A = this chain, B = another copy of it.
Amino acid sequence: MVIRDKIAADTCDVYFVDENKVGAVQKLLESIVVFSELAELFKVLGDPTRIKIIYILSVEELCVCDIAGVLGLSVSAVSHQLRTLRNLKLVKFRREGKMAYYSLDDAHISQLFNQGLEHIKE
C-alpha cells in the first residue's frame, strides 16, 4: 500500500498529499479498533511491577501477600496490579480458604515476554 504519491515526495504541504490514499489509511486505522486493545495490552506489560509479577507467576503459583513480600510492595499495591492483569486475562486465580493463588492465564504472554527479551538483547 502506498500512502503518498511520488510526486509529493519533495514537499510536505498537505495539498500535495494524495487525499484518497490518506483517507484510506485513516479509515483503516479507525476501522481496526484492535489498535486500542493492542496498545492496552502492551501498556499493561509496560510497568516494572506488573512485568515482575508476570515473571514470578511464570515460575510458580503464588498468593497475593507472597508476591508482595518478594517485590517489597504493599499487599494493596499488588492487589491493584493483579486486578489490572486479571482484567486483561493475563493472570487467573483460584481460591483456597482465605488465600487467593494467582498464576498465568495465557500461553501467549510467555512468548511475548521472551520475544521482548530478544529485542532487548539485540
Contacts and interface: CB of A to CB of B under 8 A. Distances in A.
Given A25-B56, A46-B44, A3 B119 contact: no
Which of A36, A52, A64 has the most C-beta atoms of chain B within 10 angstroms of its own C-beta?
Answer: A52
Nearest to A16: B66
Interface string A65-89: 1100111100000000000000001
Q: How large is the interface on A (under 10, 10 to 19, 20 to 34, 35 or more residues)?
A: 35 or more
B108 A119 contact: yes
Interface string A5-31: 000001010100100001001100100
Given A119-B109, A120-B37, A120-B38, A65 B3 contact: no
A42 B38 contact: no
A41 B97 contact: no
A52 B34 contact: no
Nearest to A60: B3
Contacts of A40: 46
Given A12-B65, A46-B44, A26 B70 contact: yes
Contact of A39 (B2, B10, B47, B97): B47
